[in-house]
A and B are shown apart, each in its own frame.
Chain A
C-alpha cells in the first residue's frame, strides 16, 4: 500500500504508517458516501449498463450456428468455398446427425431464421429439412427392425446394448461431452441423472451409434422426462449402426463385439447387407435441392465462428463474401444513407434550435424575474404535453389538407392544386423535432446567460462599442458554453429519436433509429439492431471527443 522502503514511512502518533491511518480514517466516510448512492448505482447498473452491454455484445455474438450444427461447422472448415463444388459426404453426414438432434429440440428453425438474415431462403430450407430428416436411411431402419423377428424393436434390448449390460464399464466422458452439447444447443440444463451411461465397449466399436443413443437418452430423460429404457431409440441410432457396419472395418468391429445383443446386431447387419450404403449427400439433395446450392454452404461456413463481424458489415452496407468483406448490391444498400441522413438532419435540427432558442434564452435572461418566470413556463409547457400529442399536432398543422396549407390557400398565396408538401418528408421531421427539442437548447443557454454579468455589456459600450459590437465581441463569446451544452444535448437526443420521424417522417424523413426499432421489434434481428446501435453510440462518442478537442468540454456549462 504505502511505499515505505526508501525513505521510511511517515508515522502517525500511534506508530502506524500515516497513509494507513489516513486510509482508515477516510474509509468510514467513503463507505457512508457509497451507501448513499448505492441504490441509484445498483439501479443504473441493472437497468442501464448491463442491458446496454448485453445488447452491444449481441452485435458480435454468433454462437447459434456452432451450437446447433456443432459437428458440421468443424467439418465444413476444410471445405474450399471457391472450389465450385459442394462439400463432401462427411459434411452431409455430420449435418444429418446435427440437424436431427436440432429438429428434435426444435432449434433448427431458429438457426434457419438467423442464417436467413444473411441469405434469403435458408429459413425455409431448414424448416422443410427438419421435417424430413428422419426419412433419411428409411430402408435401412426398416430392415434392421425386421431382422431377428423384430428383436431390435425392443427398447429394453437397445438400452442393454448401449449400456453394455449391468456391470459393464461406462463411458462417462462421452456422456458429459454430449451433455455439454445439448446444453449449448438448447440453452437449458442437462445436469440431471438420466439413469444411463454409454458402455465403454460399444462406444469404442460404434462411436457414432453411442453418440446418437446418448443424445437420445439425454433428450428423452431430461427434455421429455421419460425413462430411457422404455422409449424407441431415434432413427439416428439405426442409421449410425447401418452406416458404421457398411463402412470400412465395420464388419470386423461387429465381429469382435460380444456384449449384449451381439446376435441381434449380427442379424441386423446381415439384413442390410444387400442395401446400398446410406448416401447422406444424395439423401439431402432429394429432400431439397438447395442443399446443393453453394451460396447456402458458403453462408454457413462464413457464419460458423462464435463471433462475427457480419452484423457490423451489414450495418455499413457490406457483407462477408468468399474473399472477405465486399459491398452489398446497390439495391440492398440502405444503412449508410440512413446514417448520413440522420447526421445531417440532426445537425440541421440543432442549428435551427440554436437560431430559434438563442433570442428566447436572451430575453429570458434579461427580463425581470416575474416576467422571466412566466416566459419560462411557456418554454417548459411542451414538456408537460405528451410527445405523441405534440407530434400529432404537427401532423394536423402540416399536412396537405392541414391548417397551414388551408390558410395559405385561403390567402391565395398557394393554389388549391399546388398545396405544399410539408409532412412525410425531411421538412416535416425537422420542423417537428426542432419544436420538440427546443427546450433542451433554451434551458442550458438560459442558465449560462444568467451568469453573464450585464456590466460586461456596459463596459463594452463605455469603451466605445456599438450595441452590436458589444454583443458580438463580448456577450456572445461568453454565451458559447451554453450553446455548446445545448447543442450536445439536442444533437445527441436528435440522432437517437424515432417516434417523431416515424410519425411525420414518411420514407424520406426517417432516421437510423427507426431502422433499429424495426429490427428490434419486427424483424427480430437483434444482432443487426445491436450493431447499428453500437455504431450510433460510437459516432456520438467520436463527435463528443471531437467537440472536446475543438471547443473543450470544460467550455460546456449547464449553469
Chain B
C-alpha cells in the first residue's frame, strides 16, 4: 500500500468495468434529461420496483403501488417523514421484508424469493450494527469469510477497505473503542468490502453531530461516485437528501410524491407536500380566479390578487395553496418586475443571522411569512413595524393543490 489515494487503488483493483458502466449511465442521464417516474422499460434499469405493495396487518397498506427504477451507479435517496414507508421499501429491497404484492428486480432478476444473504447487497444500518465481539478487522473480514475467501486475500481486501475510509490503523480495535464517526466509517467499509454493486443505507448519519454529519455526507457521496456503486439512501433529513443525491424520492403516505434531482425538487415541487417538506416555504391560500397557458391569477382569502404558476391546478374556482420560497420574495420596488401584483406587508421581526437576514412579515393575514435576504453592503435592513410592499416573479410562485 504505497499509494496516497486508497480509493483510486480500490477502483483500479476492483472494477474498471463498473466504471465504464457508470460513465454510460451518466451519459445517458444527460441525454435523457429528467428520468421518468414509471420508466420500468428502461433497459439500463438496475433496481426495479414494480407495483410493489406492502401491508403488515392485512388492513392498511404501508407501501401503496410503488414503481421505481434505478440505473446503475445512481445515488438515490428515499426521503420522507417517519411512517411514510421509505424504510419498509429499503427492507424489502434488502430482503428482510417480503413484498405483499408486486415485483422487485435486481439487474433484471426478480429477487422476491431470494434470501437476504444471497442478494449480495451491502447495507449500512442506522446503529451501524458492528459486531461488538469482533475487532474492526474481523468485522470487515466477516463477509469475505462467509464467501469462503482465502486468508491472504481477505487481509488485503480488509486493509484496502479500511484505508479507503481512513481507518487503516484501527483494525485491531473493538467497535466500542471507536467514536460514532469512526464506527460509521467502519460500517461503510464493511458494507463495501465484499464489493457489492448495490449499497443500502438506512439513516446512517442520524446519530452523529452536525459537523461530523456534514463531513460524512460529503465522504459517502464521494466514495459512492468514485466506486460507481448504486446507492439507495434512506433519511428523513432533507438537507442530507439534497446535498448527497443524484435523485430524491420524496415519500409520504406510502407513495412517492415526487422523484427528481435535488434542484428540481427544491425549485419545482410537484405538490404542496413536497413544497412544505423540502426547505423553508411560505404558503398563502386562495382560489384560482383565472388560468391560462402557464399563468394563473389567485385570489387570496383576504381578497388580494397575486400571479402564480399553476402546477397541479387546472380549473377556475379551485382552491389552491400558493407556495413561495423565502429567498425569492422581493421588497425592493426597483427590482420588481413591471406589472406584477404586489402585496402589502408589515414587518414583525428582523433576525440577523450573519450570512443572511431573516425577516418575519404579516402578509394577507399570515403572520408567519418569512423572507430571507443576503447580507450585502447595499441591503436594506427592515425595521419592525415598517410597512412594505412585496412581490415575486410569477414562476417562483407555484399554485399547488390545497
Q: Is B56 an interface residue (CB 8 A)?
A: no
Nearest A residue (CB) for B132: A478
Verify if A110 is at the interface (C-beta below 8 Å from B): no
A461 CB–B CB distance under 8 Å: yes
A463: contacting residue among B115, B133, B143, CB under 8 A: B143
Within 8 A of B (CB), among A414-460: 453, 455-456, 458-460
- Determine which of A459, A467, A469 lies in contact with B129 in the assembled complex, contact meaning CB atoms within 8 Å: A459
**Cβ-defined contact, B117 with A459, below 8 A:** no
> Contacts A453-B127, A464-B143, A465-B142: A458 and B96 contacting too (C-beta < 8 A)?
yes
Contact between chains at B146 and A469 (CB < 8 Å): yes
The reply to whether B133 and A477 contact each other, CB–CB distance below 8 Å, is yes
Known: A464-B147, A465-B146, A469-B146. A453 touches B117 (CB 8 A): no
Q: Is A356 an interface residue (CB 8 A)?
A: no
A470 — nearest CB in chain B belongs to which residue? B117
| A29 interface residue (CB < 8 Å to B) | no
B258 to chain A, nearest CB (A): 29
Q: Is B121 an interface residue (CB 8 A)?
A: yes
A308, chain B: closest CB distance, angstroms: 51
Of B115, B119, B125, B142, most buried by chain A (CB within 10 Å of CB) is B142
Secondary structure at the A interface, as helix, strand, loop or mixed, is: helix
Determine the chain B residues whose CB is within 8 A of the CB of A464 once the complex forms: 117-118, 120, 143, 146-147, 194
Say if the beta carbon of B122 comes within 8 Å of chain A: yes
Question: Of A466, A467, A469, A474, which is within 8 A of B131 by CB?
Answer: A474
Q: Which chain A residues lie closer than 8 Å to B143 at the CB level? A: 463-465
Query: Do residues A455 and B129 form an inter-chain contact, with CB atoms below 8 A?
Result: yes
**What are the residues of chain A within 8 A of B96 when measuring CB–CB?**
458, 461
Name A474's closest neighbour in chain B (CB-CB): B131
User: A466 to chain B: closest CB distance in Å?
Assistant: 6
A461 to B194, CA, bound (A): 13
Q: Which of B122-156 contact A (CB under 8 A)?
A: 122-123, 125-127, 129, 131-133, 142-143, 146-147
**With A464-B194, A465-B117, A469-B146 as contacts: A453 and B129 at CB distance below 8 Å:** yes
User: Does residue A132 face the partner (Cβ distance < 8 Å to B)?
Assistant: no
Tell me if A473 is interfacial: C-beta within 8 Å of chain B.
yes
Q: B122, B123, B131 — which one has the most chain A CB atoms within 10 A of its CB?
A: B131
Q: Determine how close the nearest CB of chain B comes to the CB of A452; give it in whole angstroms.
A: 9
Q: Tell whether A462 is near chain B: CB-to-CB under 8 Å.
A: yes
Shortest distance between the CB of B10 and any CB in chain A (Å) = 18
Looking at the complex, which one of B121, B122, B131, B194 makes contact with A456 (CB distance below 8 Å)?
B131
When the two chains form the complex, which single residue of A455, A462, A466, A478 contacts B127, counting CB atoms closer than 8 Å?
A: A455
Chain B: CB-nearest residue to A469: B146
Q: How large is the interface on B (under 10, 10 to 19, 20 to 34, 35 or more residues)?
A: 20 to 34
**Interface assignment of B72: CB less than 8 Å from any CB of chain A:** no
CB-CB < 8 A to A456: which residues of B? 129, 131
For A473, the chain B residues whose CB sits under 8 A away are 142, 146
**Max count, chain B CB within 10 A of own CB: residue among A459, A460, A462, A464:** A462
CB distance B129 to A458 under 8 Å?
Answer: yes
Complex Cα–Cα for A469 and B143 (A)? 11
Q: Would you call B127 and A463 a contact (CB within 8 A)?
A: no
Q: How far, in whole Å, are A456 and B129 apart by their CA atoms in the complex? A: 5
Q: Determine whether the beta carbon of A462 is less than 8 Å from that of B142.
A: no
Given the complex of chains A and B, what is the CA–CA distance between A470 and B115 in angstroms? 13
**Contact status of A463 and B125, CB under 8 A, knowing A458-B96, A469-B146, A477-B133:** no
| A467–B117 alpha-carbon span in the complex (Å) | 8
Contact with A along B199-227 (1 / 0, CB 8 A): 01000000000000000000000000000
Q: B94 in the interface, Cβ–Cβ < 8 Å?
A: yes
The answer to the question of B86 belonging to the interface, with a C-beta cut-off of 8 Å to chain A, is no
Residue with the highest number of chain A CB atoms closer than 10 Å, among B95, B125, B200: B125
Cβ contacts under 8 Å, A470 to chain B: 117
> Does B115 lie within 8 Å of A461, measured CB to CB?
yes
Which residues between 466 and 493 of chain A lie within 8 Å of chain B, taking CB atoms?
A: 466-467, 469-470, 473-474, 477-478
Q: Are B125 and A458 touching (Cβ within 8 A)?
A: yes
Inside 8 A of A466's CB, which chain B residues have their CB?
Answer: 117, 146
Please determine whether B147 and A462 come into contact, CB atoms closer than 8 angstroms.
no
| Residues from chain B with Cβ under 8 Å of A465 in the complex | 117, 142-143, 146
**Contact yes or no, A478 B133, CB < 8 A:** yes
Q: Is the CB of A462 within 8 A of B117?
A: yes
A453-B129, A466-B117 known; A459 vs B146 contact (CB < 8 Å):
no
B190: interface (CB < 8 Å):
yes
A455 to B190, CA, bound (A): 15
- In the assembly, what is the distance between CA of A474 and CA of B116, in Å? 16
Q: How far is the CB of A451 from chain B (nearest CB, A)?
A: 11
Given A464-B120, A464-B194, A466-B117, residue A459 in contact with residue B133 (CB < 8 A) = no
Q: Do B94 and A462 touch (CB < 8 A)?
A: yes
Using Cβ atoms and an 8 Å threshold, which residues of chain A touch B117? 461-467, 470
Cβ of A478 to closest chain B Cβ, rounded Å = 6
Known A-B contacts A464-B146, A465-B142, A477-B133; the reply to A459 vs B125 at CB < 8 A is yes
Cα A465 to Cα B143 in complex, Å, equals: 7
Query: Min CB distance, A450 to chain B, in Å?
Result: 15
Chain B CB count within 10 A is highest, among A456, A461, A465, for A461
With both beta carbons as reference points, the residue of chain B lying nearest to A477 in the complex is identified as: B133
User: Which residues of chain A are near B131, meaning CB under 8 Å?
Assistant: 456, 459-460, 474, 478
The contact sample of 15 A-B pairs, CB cut-off 8 A, is A456-B129, A456-B131, A458-B123, A459-B125, A459-B129, A460-B142, A461-B96, A462-B95, A463-B190, A463-B191, A464-B120, A464-B143, A465-B142, A465-B146, A478-B132
User: Top 4 closest A-B pairs, CB basis?
Assistant: A463-B143, A459-B129, A462-B123, A461-B116
- Residues of B that sit less than 8 Å from A by CB: 94-96, 115-123, 125-127, 129, 131-133, 142-143, 146-147, 190-191, 194, 200
Contacts A459-B131, A467-B117, A473-B142 known; list 15 others, CB within 8 Å. Answer: A455-B125, A455-B127, A458-B129, A459-B125, A461-B117, A462-B95, A462-B123, A463-B123, A463-B190, A463-B194, A465-B117, A465-B146, A466-B146, A477-B133, A478-B133
